[in-house]
Amino acid sequence: MAQQQISLPAKLINGGIAGIVGVTCVFPIDLAKTRLQNQRCGQPLYKNMMDCLMKTVRSEGYFGMYRGAAVNLTLVTPEKAIKLAANDFFRHQLSKDGGRLTVSKEMLAGCGAGMCQVIITTPMEMLKIQLQDAGRLVAQQRVMPNMVPVLKVGGANAVLRRSYTAGPAPQVLRASATQITRELLRTKGITGLYQGLGATLMRDIPFSVVYFPLFAHLNQLGERSSQDTSVPFYWSFLSGCLAGSTAAVAVNPCDVIKTRLQSLSKGANEETYGGVVDCISKILKKEGPGAFLKGAGCRAFVIAPLFGIAQVMYFVGVGEFLLGYTPYNIYSA
């Protein structure tokens, strides 16, 4: 019976592997999502996801689609590990009375997971967005060469400014995540890496509240029988895809707000925002409600396979195997 207790180290290993595999597969779509969310009305560089990816490859090469991937791959291990392990931990704690979890308790566990992950998610996405959006800003300057980009944060953007002005033609920004991190720490301290924390919480808590209960119930539909509660891997994959895409679209307005607030460099004539409320107000006034759905399709395409792959890798139980535990499925608890 002792072997059936939840092992947080094993869950952390599982979550880390799941995150690496998932991000490697879907990162180019995530880059397209960031660029689509950041472009404003009247400056449509990209028509849709495929147009964005094709233009990115033409101007920046194949690996241009993976700008910022190193940051994601480095930090997604603790981020996904914390998210999935925290949800399992809270579900385990809330089901100690021996009964099945109610929907409200499942939502509470998801809320806890969303709150825990932002300690990694916020700085990870802060750095990733700067690198992902760099090519869009350069492309915009090519289209409007007389318009100068607005650089919001002196230290970090001073690093970026050199790339805009070097040479006779605009070039792809080469500022690294390390350079941006150092400049943010120098100019703003640790709070610089947590710009947009409120918007990240506003996105990730509702996402987890929707995703985890929905996944649990969809996954249970694949149980073979009342005696055999195991679920085929393909069913866990499909459940993760459906639950992930549903939750992603539901919170996409919050993701747009978060992306805008965390973008340090602004293109020509692009707004700067003083906070969540100011961001919402300016988007509604200048772009209309439809702007909050920018990148929704891309985000669904990112999150669906990401969480489908993540749940399958998670259920394989590599962490339990490495540490000598029997795999423990919290969703059948």
Looking at residue 164, what is its pLDDT? 38
| Cα separation of the two ends of the chain | 13
Angstrom distance (rounded) from CA 26 to CA 31: 9
Q: Evaluate whether residue 183 is within a structural domain.
A: no
Q: 199-213, 268-282, 308-322: which has the highest mean pLDDT?
A: 199-213
Q: Evaluate whether residue 71 is within a structural domain.
A: yes
Angstrom distance (rounded) from CA 195 to CA 222: 41
**Residue appearing with tokens 């920018």:** 294
Percent of the chain with pLDDT over 70: 83
Alpha-carbon radius of gyration of the chain: 21
Q: Evaluate whether residue 233 is within a structural domain.
A: yes
Average pLDDT, the chain: 82
Q: Evaluate whether residue 127 is within a structural domain.
A: yes
272: containing domain: 2-147+195-332
Looking at residue 2, what is its pLDDT? 40
Say whether 170 sits in a helix, a strand or coil.
coil
* 1 CB neighbour count, 10 Å cutoff: 4
Higher pLDDT: 54 or 321? It is 54
Q: Is the pLDDT of residue 166 over 60?
A: no
Angstrom distance (rounded) from CA 168 to CA 182: 28
Mean pLDDT of 86-114: 87
Q: Evaluate whether residue 131 is within a structural domain.
A: yes
Q: Residue 88 — pLDDT band, cuts 50, 70, 90?
A: confident
Q: Which of 23, 194, 209 is nearest to 123 (CA)?
A: 194
Percent of the chain with pLDDT over 90: 42
Instruction: Count CA within 13 A, CB hemisphere, residue 225.
Output: 2
Q: Is the pLDDT of residue 10 over 70?
A: yes
Q: Evaluate whether residue 79 is within a structural domain.
A: yes
DSSP 224-256: S-SS-----HHHHHHHHHHHHHHHHHHTHHHHH
Q: Evaluate whether residue 143 is within a structural domain.
A: yes
Q: With residue 150 as reference, give the H or E element that holds it.
A: strand 150-151
Higher pLDDT: 16 or 326? It is 16
Looking at residue 82, what is its pLDDT? 86
**DSSP H helices in 40-68:** 49-60
Mean pLDDT of 75-96: 84
Higher pLDDT: 171 or 185? It is 185
Structural domains counted in the chain:
1
Q: Evaluate whether residue 129 is within a structural domain.
A: yes
What CATH number corresponds to the domain at position 34? 1.50.40.10
